[in-house]
Amino acid sequence: MVQTLALNETLKNRSVVSLMEWSPAEIQRVLYTARVMKQEPHSPSFRHALEGQHIALIFELPSTRTRVSFQVAIESLGAKAVIFEWDQSQLGRGEPIKDSARVMSRYVSGVVARVKDHDTLQEWRKWASCPVFNALTNRMHPFQALADVMTVWEHFGFMNGLKLSYCGDGNNMANSLMVLGAKLGLDVWIASPPGYQPDASLVSWAKGEAELTGAQIHVTDDVHAAAADAHVLVTDVFLSMADDLESGALKKAAMLPYQVNQTLLGLARPNAVFLHCLPAHRGEEVTDEVLDGPQSVVFEEAENRLWVQKSVLYHVLADSSAVLGG
């Protein structure tokens, strides 16, 4: 078991901002460890891996699954979570991030942050001397994408060559799925209406990365082409937390043809699965029939957030001598 649980030393003290800088092998290692952790949730090999450490959880935006799953992951590894809201700290009163990050790094082993703007997280990473973990920004949602591909791997037994189709807003989930698809050999289709498609520079990067792994990246406004013969259908809310509510009605109207309903799911493969990061706005981006149907694996997907987060924390923050001696 010690060999199975051995740490990947290249991940030591690495931040998770987008996973664009992580290698396919590093991502695969994290996913493998997550599955081992899930299969042996009470293994003593993990129980004290981060003992004596403290990890900060900072929330500028609301959270349910991320807050609970990260706190459980942290404490099940033997560390303690220090949780605070952005607007209840000096950050909310305008303290510069470069000051907060340098101070916080002297108190904790890592910082998990959910923030509105991706540049805010980049600023944390620039000034913090400890690893910074992206718990969601307007550009990326890496831990959710890790949970998604773990769920796909569990269901199909492999990932390479599968067609994963995301239907809806070209948001942080679309971006993160392109990153991981390109890294892991998935064929990722993003179907979004004109004006709401992913950033062109990120699409270009993903296509370049995909050439190294045999993946394919497609961005289209044709939702039916995206869904056709898909192994996996994914969606997210039409309006993200950082969206301007004044333009919300216009955006929703553009998104309605991209709803995942039984008709769209019927275009996918008979054994296709449905993913959603939750919370879902039932009747908007997805119907009850699909979300509660037999092809939905959204609750397995939600559980897997715990395991991928626990795995990343383990690889990034655990001391190899302590693990091997445990």
pLDDT at res. 321 = 57
d(CA 279, CA 286): 11
The CA-based dihedral angle spanning residues 154, 308, 12, 48, taken in that order and rounded to the nearest 10 degrees: -110
Dump pLDDT digits (tens) for 146-180: 999 999 999 999 999 999 999 999 999 999 999 99
Hey, what are 61's tokens?
């935006």
**Beta strand extents in 43-169 (DSSP E only):** 54-59, 80-85, 110-114, 132-134, 163-167
Cα angle value 205/210/213 (rounded, 5°): 145
d(CA 172, CA 176): 6
Pick the catalytic residue from 71, 187, 277, 309.
Answer: 277
Cite the DSSP H helix spans in 185-319. Answer: 200-213, 223-227, 248-255, 262-265, 288-291, 298-317
Pick the catalytic residue from 14, 139, 141, 231.
Answer: 141
d(CA 12, CA 313): 10
**322 — pLDDT class (breaks 50, 70, 90):** low
Cα angle value 286/164/294 (rounded, 5°): 50
d(CA 166, CA 192): 8
Q: Which residue has the higher pLDDT, 320 or 115?
A: 115
Q: Which residue has the higher pLDDT, 324 or 267?
A: 267
Instruction: State which H helix or E strand residue 30 sits in.
Output: helix 24-39
pLDDT for residue 2 is more than 50: no
pLDDT at res. 1 = 41
Dump pLDDT digits (tens) for 68-104: 999 999 999 999 999 988 777 777 677 899 999 999 9
Residue corresponding to tokens 């990473």: 125
pLDDT at res. 9 = 86
Identify whether 65 is a catalytic site residue. Answer: no
Dump pLDDT digits (tens) for 94-137: 789 999 999 999 999 999 999 999 999 999 999 999 999 999 99
Q: Which residue has the higher pLDDT, 246 or 181?
A: 181
Mean pLDDT of 290-304: 98
pLDDT at res. 242 = 60
Identify whether 130 is a catalytic site residue. Answer: no
Identify whether 229 is a catalytic site residue. Answer: no
Pick the catalytic residue from 236, 259, 309, 315.
Answer: 236
User: Where in the chain are all domains bearing CATH 3.40.50.1370?
Assistant: 9-140+306-325, 142-302
Identify whether 277 is a catalytic site residue. Answer: yes
How many alpha carbons lie under 13 Å from residue 180 in its C-beta half-sphere?
A: 29
Pick the catalytic residue from 114, 139, 231, 276.
Answer: 114
- Cβ(132)–Cβ(17) under 8 Å? yes
Q: What is the pTM of this model?
A: 0.94
Mean pLDDT of 12-16: 96
Query: DSSP letter at 318?
Result: -
Pick the catalytic residue from 71, 144, 216, 259.
Answer: 144
The verdict on domain 142-302 having CATH code 3.40.50.1370 is: yes
pLDDT at res. 92 = 67
**324 — pLDDT class (breaks 50, 70, 90):** very low
Identify whether 236 is a catalytic site residue. Answer: yes
Architecture label for domain 9-140+306-325: 3-Layer(aba) Sandwich (3.40)
pLDDT at res. 65 = 92
pLDDT for residue 7 is more than 90: no
Pick the catalytic residue from 14, 29, 118, 305.
Answer: 305
Q: Which residue has the higher pLDDT, 250 or 91?
A: 250
